Structure 1
């Protein structure tokens, strides 16, 4: 890193110096260590392999103040900004990164929901393993370091052994639009007990178009025989920079399915990491990004098979229009001793404009015997024969293009079990897709 800190790094250090200590020795030490690591390495640059397709030069020149929690706590918020059909369970709302108890409903119908600040005040020790975690990759982990150093708001979710939650949990990250040039940081800790089950809808929404940075780090542990269903809907404002890391750990016989729909944001990155540490565990992921204008969305998927007879299946779709850029890295790692692994990954992409760009990088590392593994990636354009067929049936060109693009994307959402939510997401996707002719 350059010896002179960038405006972004200086602003983050100033924000940390103004943040009061927690009074918990191990937590304050962890925050200090992460801040020092961030200051030493700075933001990743183009030669950093993990970030080579997502330049941060413009962000490094922005001096972002920490979003004011007092301002966020007093803002009037219209719930229609984040209401979703088919999601009527407990709802936890963060506005500009600040927990809003007045907008939240913590009745989890059998699951325990505790704001992070309350959990740290009442019983911090069980959170030590996650919050004192060390990130080893220097600048590549810059935003994880930043989140660990500055996140004071968040949520702790615990599902007791054997409890199957009857309704999905709705976690909302709302950007208010009234705090421009600011940054906010949220931490989520989810523990699903043995043979328990939980569905979560994580929703990034906006009430206004302000240039903000948001970071979210989620640690999810699914114990033996447990099940997680996670739907991530990202529809942030077109001025938002959003960096998320979702880490899922699966014990023996545990299952997790993640669906993701990326629609909004100016620059968005999602690092989805799964570790299958128990025999017969399974991780499935499905995702779509649909981009236009100058949007930039970067998905980094990494699935590590660490035990015997594990399985994973990944199906991701990307669409880029205008001058947008999509990035997808899908990595499958099969560790030594993880015999019996069955893993597959498919990433298909459409370019709807001659000025759009998609970079896709499938990776496969196998260190075990008796393994079934496959991966593939494609980048293309709409099929002209199918387009001609629809037009020959009297369907206008713009509508025909929209129908074909929707059919291409919907393959990644059709397995979502919540039918009402699935239909709504399809409508959101249709509204976001381009309707005009392809750009030259």
Structure 2
């Protein structure tokens, strides 16, 4: 591994001042995370989890820390509008909470929604265990979780969302991160804590958007706990600026009889990576993930999905599709582990991919490990091109080749959104997928 001191990115991240909280345990945790990053540096392709995502180009860049004028930076309001989504909203610009763009009035009973910066000032102690837990996870993975360490050291804002036991939040909650042009190329970091109490229900819409063309580096860590019998529907739309670099870590913990449904659409950014780790900890917990990634140009989009069944009669179904065009590269790793004692688990994973040009590449790696009895499990992956027979059929009906290709590709992607219950949001996301297709 390259020595950290020789890399401009590492130097710029280590030179950034740590946020001063005045909270002893938090300041100590930040310093420990910074020191751990300094000792390991960035992962390279010899680290198995980063085998298909090289950081050579990013490692040669320097980023200024934070945006001192983010609180007053102009943002196009149309970025925030989502059809079929009207409810509480929390907005961050270059990692800084924007009260003027957020909607936090008259929150429904049972919902607590605050920016992390405010919680750290008012009562940080309840966050202590979660902060330490994520730092411990990063420590266990060494250089592979280098960006999670940087986030633990440098994140000063983000979202803290709690839903009380047995509370049903009818309107979706919207979480928006906007990368806006600043003074030079910026690095910023955000951290989210989401907790659903026993029997609670919530729909969360998470957006990562761009309002400018500058290269930025943004890291995100989300710690999500779904209590016994609770239900979470989490929709993520990543449509960052074309030069943005986004590194995200999400960790979900599902308790007994809980259910989480995730829809993920990855469209924007230059270098995008999402490490999504899910633990089914309680008997009867269920997970459903549906995702689409569509890199084009010179984009690189990497999704690392790791699901661990740790209790009786748990179930997971994952269906992801990728489409790459031009000289873009997509990466998908889907790993399922059925741990000892997780008898009766039912797990399935599928990843199907299309290459629309000779220069495009998609690397897919399904993994399955079973250490329990009476388990149903299946996984598979394909990489190919559009079916020539289907193209011939459409062309024989008078449809031009380009339009026929677009129709088939759109249908291939939209299938991942068929079970999205909000019809207006479903149509909006489908339109974004179609707009991403080559003309």
The TM-score, its normalising length taken from structure 2, stands at 0.97
Equivalent in the alignment of 1:96: 94
Query: Which runs of structure 2 are paired with 1:244-283 in the superposition (5 Å)?
Result: 244-283=248-287
Pairing 1:172–2:173 present: no
Any idea what SS the aligned residue of 1:199 has?
A: strand
Equivalent in the alignment of 2:437: 433
Aligned residues of 1:26 and 1:132 also touching (Cα < 8 A): no
The total of aligned residue pairs comes to: 432
Any idea what SS the aligned residue of 1:201 has?
A: strand
Return 5+ residue gaps in structure 1 as ranges: 436-440
Equivalent in the alignment of 1:8: 9
RMSD: 1.0
Aligned residues of 1:320 and 1:357 also touching (Cα < 8 A): yes
Query: Which runs of structure 2 are paired with 1:54-69 in the superposition (5 Å)?
Result: 54-68=53-67
Query: Which runs of structure 2 are paired with 1:77-156 in the superposition (5 Å)?
Result: 77-107=75-105, 108-110=107-109, 111-133=111-133, 134=136, 135=138, 136-156=140-160
Equivalent in the alignment of 1:438: none
CA distance in structure 2 between the aligned counterparts of 1:279 and 1:199, rounded to whole angstroms: 23
Any idea what SS the aligned residue of 1:353 has?
A: coil
The 1:396/1:79 distance shift into structure 2, 3 A limit, reads: same
Report deviation, 1:316.
Answer: 0.2
Note the alpha carbon deviations across 1:1-55, whole angstroms, 9 max, x for none.
Answer: 416341111111111xx23421111111111111111111111011110001000
The 1:314/1:3 distance shift into structure 2, 3 A limit, reads: closer
Report deviation, 1:328.
Answer: 0.1
Equivalent in the alignment of 2:39: 40
Return 5+ residue gaps in structure 2 as ranges: none
The 1:200/1:20 distance shift into structure 2, 3 A limit, reads: closer
CA distance in structure 2 between the aligned counterparts of 1:219 and 1:3, rounded to whole angstroms: 28
Equivalent in the alignment of 1:74: 72
The 1:19/1:35 distance shift into structure 2, 3 A limit, reads: closer
Any idea what SS the aligned residue of 2:5 has?
A: coil
CA distance in structure 2 between the aligned counterparts of 1:180 and 1:308, rounded to whole angstroms: 52
The TM-score, its normalising length taken from structure 1, stands at 0.97
The 1:3/1:389 distance shift into structure 2, 3 A limit, reads: closer
Aligned residues of 1:272 and 1:301 also touching (Cα < 8 A): yes
Pairing 1:191–2:211 present: no
Any idea what SS the aligned residue of 1:77 has?
A: coil
Any idea what SS the aligned residue of 2:161 has?
A: strand
CA distance in structure 2 between the aligned counterparts of 1:112 and 1:201, rounded to whole angstroms: 16
Aligned residues of 2:292 and 2:322 also touching (Cα < 8 A): yes
Any idea what SS the aligned residue of 1:12 has?
A: helix
Report deviation, 1:178.
Answer: 2.7
CA distance in structure 2 between the aligned counterparts of 1:277 and 1:343, rounded to whole angstroms: 14
CA distance in structure 2 between the aligned counterparts of 1:318 and 1:392, rounded to whole angstroms: 27
CA distance in structure 1 between the aligned counterparts of 2:272 and 2:56, rounded to whole angstroms: 15
Aligned residues of 2:286 and 2:314 also touching (Cα < 8 A): yes
Aligned residues of 1:183 and 1:212 also touching (Cα < 8 A): yes
Q: Which moved more, 1:346-355 or 1:82-91?
A: 82-91
Pairing 1:421–2:419 present: no
Query: Which runs of structure 2 are paired with 1:360-375 in the superposition (5 Å)?
Result: 360-375=364-379
Equivalent in the alignment of 1:31: 30
Aligned residues of 1:82 and 1:205 also touching (Cα < 8 A): no
Q: 1:217 is matched with which residue: 197, 210, 221? A: 221
Any idea what SS the aligned residue of 2:181 has?
A: coil
Any idea what SS the aligned residue of 2:316 has?
A: strand
